[in-house]
Structure 1
Amino acid sequence: MAIGLDVTQPPEPENPEEYDYETCPFYGELPVRGQVIEGTVVSTDMERTVIVEREYDVNVPKYDRLMKRRSRIPAHVPEVLEPLSVDDEVKIAETRPLSKTKSHVVVEVTEGDA
């Protein structure tokens, strides 16, 4: 991987002839660059795509308080990663646009619900 993340290498693809190497950052040709974001999986309704939500605080100077905001980012899941479920903590990395809305890919599952 291009960024130099401390990510454990997932197992090799089971069927190398049918594997989609074009969208895999581990064994394929997908370059990873830019931001690395940690978040929680909130939706797994699409094929090979998850919605990752992250919360962050924004300062509101008028009230001298912090306000919580959240963003939802669609991310591609490579086939070599185990199937993800809702409430899994993941790291996603920025990459080239994979579709109209996806330009991030899951690079690590940090912890699960189990």
Structure 2
Amino acid sequence: MALGLNVQQPDATCDDENCPFHGTLSVRGQTLEGTVASTDMQKTVVVEREYDVTVPKYDRLMKRRSRIPAHAPPCMDVEEGDTVTIAETRPLSKTKSHAVVAKHGGED
């Protein structure tokens, strides 16, 4: 158990200072689960979460999704379609305030 969360430390090492495991980045606040939708940026992944919202007028549920940019340290080998856990951190850029802390595998 690392970081005070129920996640395993990755086997690989890295020299990224914004890595929650091998650098100085601390995690705090929420932890969220989602699917990696995009890995097009360097050291950044977009995590997509789907959830249901009640529409009272029609007494139905409506699907919504949120896309959260998260820092992906080099020691976490993340690909599109993987289910990951992200944790809240200090702001790393204009849009990034989360980091990947665990990978749960692909979407099969």
TM-score w.r.t. length of structure 2: 0.91
Q: Which amino acid aligns with 1:53?
A: E
Alignment of 1:3-22 (within 5 A): 4-13=4-13, 19-21=15-17
Alignment of 1:1-114 (within 5 A): 2=3, 4-13=4-13, 19-21=15-17, 23-82=18-77, 84-113=78-107
Deviations 1:49-89 (A, max 9, x none): 0000000011111111111100000000012112x211111
Q: Which runs of 5 or more structure 1 residues have no equivalent in the other structure?
A: none
Q: How many residues align?
A: 107
- Following the alignment from structure 1 to structure 2, what is the Cα–Cα distance between the partners of residues 33 and 71? 20
- Following the alignment from structure 1 to structure 2, what is the Cα–Cα distance between the partners of residues 59 and 13? 44
Specify whether residues 111 and 101 from structure 1 end up closer, same or farther in structure 2 by C-alpha distance, changes over 3 A only.
same
Deviations 1:68-114 (A, max 9, x none): 100000000012112x2111110101100000110000000011247
Q: CA RMSD in A?
A: 1.5
TM-score w.r.t. length of structure 1: 0.86
Counting aligned pairs with the same residue, the percent is 64
- Secondary structure at the counterpart of residue 46 of structure 1: coil
